Amino acid sequence: MVRARAEADRETERRPSLVDDAYAAMKQAIRDSSFAPGYQASEQEIALRLGMSRTPVHEAAIRLQEDGLVRVLPRRGILICALAPDDMREIYDVIVAIEGRAAELIAASPEERRMAVADELADRTDAMEAAWTEQDLRSWGEADERFHRALVEGAGNGRMIRIIQTINDQSHRARMFTLKLRRELGASVEEHRRIVACIRAGDAAGAMESARAHRLRARDTLLPLLDSFGLKHL
Amino acid sequence: MVRARAEADRETERRPSLVDDAYAAMKQAIRDSSFAPGYQASEQEIALRLGMSRTPVHEAAIRLQEDGLVRVLPRRGILICALAPDDMREIYDVIVAIEGRAAELIAASPEERRMAVADELADRTDAMEAAWTEQDLRSWGEADERFHRALVEGAGNGRMIRIIQTINDQSHRARMFTLKLRRELGASVEEHRRIVACIRAGDAAGAMESARAHRLRARDTLLPLLDSFGLKHL
DNA sequence: TCATGCCATCTTGCATGCAAGTTGGCGCGC
DNA sequence: GCGCGCCAACTTGCATGCAAGATGGCATGA
């Protein structure tokens, strides 16, 4: 219970309220497509399914709307947002900007901290390579996600972390979809290693540039892929 | 009423609800320090003052919490968030990342679009210079704010715009405070002109670098200023 | 004088009631 | 057969009731 106590001290013991439950449940449902994009649900219906009244569902919907995952249509219900290719372009630009700066900040930090982050990033990359040789797509995707999360968390900027988290929630479904299509996963490992090397060397400009180049290349292989499938929304 | 109709078509006629009113009123109160940081208000009290019941106030508070402007403390009320110097550091890093990428994107866009944005940016910069020669701090601040807003809006990325808007809401009070202290406002004009020149020339790398340098310099002059005032929060 | 514990008061979490806006379908007129 | 309007059913916006958690002050004992 040490962990619980620590959180209690930090957060004045916030045990999960019904609103938190509703928020988590709805977000999860959107992530795994139980609520498909374009689906329009009534708050009443969701409330019934979750065994609570409309109030907490409504308040959770407000938070989800703020996250860009749903739209609350007055007197018509909750609409699950779809992602158009243009949204993916926007999302990649935000990622390029934030991860680039994060890599730069890490590379410019004191050696001890830099090395600690680099070690973690290297571990994630090793996991990716292992998954790649075993053709284990699921593991590869998880390791890749962890690499990028560690990259942003390594910069120690809570606002950047939150921005990326929001963006990830929005693009999770697209990521799951494209994971199966990509044929150039191998290149990512090498690019990750270059980022790590720059961080170790304290080369801030190089770290930023490799992080940016990595995401820009991924974007340029993925967007045409989505377009070729004629996906108007996902 | 043409404007109202246009918005109606676009947004399914969303006239302002009480929640929107409460959100706007509270946000404004926080901006102009009617609600000072650290102040703890009860939802009931705010509801009375706004002439509505607790429900819309509560829902607006959830949105403000999502924006990072307040914290809703269970059964204790709404706490207006204060900004520590470390928050300003975080905020500047986000701005450097986003504005840098925005400048790069604009400079890499087709010439016609590029020039249109550059013209607007140049206008804002002219306004700054005029305000500077007249020692009109308020006008200077407004023109500067408009320059930076135009810079991000010029990239045409809705998510970037939203991120910057949120960040601006958070740091508005600090900006108002530091505006009076800064003694190097003149340098900004020149730096803005350099950004505009790079955009006009289609020099993406140069645009990004000048936008970044501009914000980094501003940060490095402001943060020590705040520290020297021993401001733990504002 | 100071620490401690209890209680009155205040505040929100959540459920629910009511009214107003939205929708889809049925029937009527052409 | 086809279009149009009306109505019943449904959905949320907002107010309010109730109960439980948080707080501060006062009384009590050392």
pLDDT for the residue numbered A184: 80
The domain segmentation of chain B, as residue ranges, is 2-80, 85-228
Higher pLDDT, A198 or B85: A198
CB-CB under 8 Å, B159 with A90? yes
Q: How far is the CA of A5 from the C1' of D29 (A)?
A: 33
Neighbour count for residue B125 (Cβ, 10 Å): 22
pLDDT at position A16 is 80
CA gap B200, B179 in Å, rounded: 29
- pLDDT value for B4: 36
Please name the fold of domain B2-80. Answer: Arc Repressor Mutant, subunit A (1.10.10)
Between A224 and A117, residue with greater pLDDT: A117
* A53-82 confidence digits (pLDDT tens): 999 999 999 999 999 999 999 999 999 999
Identify the pLDDT of residue A2.
34
**CA–CA dist A145, A218 (Å, integer):** 13
| Nearest residue on chain A to B60, alpha-carbon basis | A62
Interchain contact, A58 vs B62, CB within 8 Å? no
Distance from CA of B157 to the nearest CA of A (A): 6
Asked if pLDDT for residue A5 goes beyond 60, the answer is no
Please report the DSSP string for chain A in residue order: -HHHHHHHHHHT--PPPHHHHHHHHHHHHHHTTSS-TT-EE-HHHHHHHHTS-HHHHHHHHHHHHHTTSEEEETTTEEEEPP--HHHHHHHHHHHHHHHHHHHHHHHTS-HHHHHHHHHHHHHHHHHHHHHHHTT-HHHHHHHHHHHHHHHHHHTT-HHHHHHHHHHHHHHHHHHHHHHTT-S-HHHHHHHHHHHHHHHHHT-HHHHHHHHHHHHHHHHHHHHHHHHHTT-S--
* Residue-averaged pLDDT of chain A: 91
Answer CATH for A85-228 from 3.50.50.60, 2.30.30.230, 3.30.70.890, 1.20.120.530: 1.20.120.530
Determine whether the distance from the CB of B233 to the nearest atom of strand D is below 7 Å.
Answer: no
Mark yes or no for CB contact B74/A167 under 8 Å: no
Closest residue on chain A to B57 (Cα)? A59
Strand order, beta sheet including B77-80: B40-41, B77-80, B70-73
Low-confidence residues of chain B: pLDDT under 70: 1-15, 230-232
| CA/C1' separation B75–D17 (Å) | 17
pLDDT confidence of residue B160: 98
For chain C, which bases have at least one atom within 7 A of a protein Cβ?
10-17, 20-23
pLDDT band of residue A233 (cuts 50, 70, 90) is confident
Å between B41 CA and D23 C1'?
15
Quick: pLDDT tens for B205-224: 999 999 999 999 999 998 88
Distance from CA of B179 to the nearest CA of A (A): 24
- In this prediction, residue B6 carries a pLDDT of 34
Tell me the per-residue pLDDT of A11-34, one tens digit each, with 9 for 90 and over.
Answer: 444 568 999 999 999 999 999 999
D chain positions with any atom within 7 Å of a protein CB:
10-17, 20-23
CB contact under 8 A, B62 and A62: yes
Q: What is the pTM of this model?
A: 0.92
* A168-180 per-position pLDDT tens digit: 999 999 999 888 8
pLDDT tens, residue by residue, B81-91: 999 889 999 99
Closest Cβ–Cβ partner in B63, B66, B98 for A97: B98
Above 70 in pLDDT, residue A1? no
In which band, very low, low, confident or very high, does the pLDDT at A183 lie, cut at 50, 70 and 90?
confident
Give me the pLDDT at residue B231, please. Answer: 67
Nearest residue of A to residue B14, measured between CA atoms: A74
Mutate to test the interface with A, among B23, B40, B62 (most CBs of A within 10 A): B62
The bridge status of strand B40-41 relative to strand B77-80 is antiparallel
Cβ contacts below 8 Å, chain A against chain B, sum to 74
B97 with A93: Cβ contact below 8 A: no
pLDDT above 70 as % of chain A: 92
Separation of B172 CA and D20 C1' (Å): 38
Provide the shortest C-alpha distance from residue A82 to chain B (in Å).
15
pLDDT tens-place string over residues B32-64: 999 999 999 999 999 999 999 999 999 999 999
The pLDDT confidence band at residue A234, using thresholds 50, 70 and 90, is: confident
Q: What is the pLDDT of residue B8?
A: 35
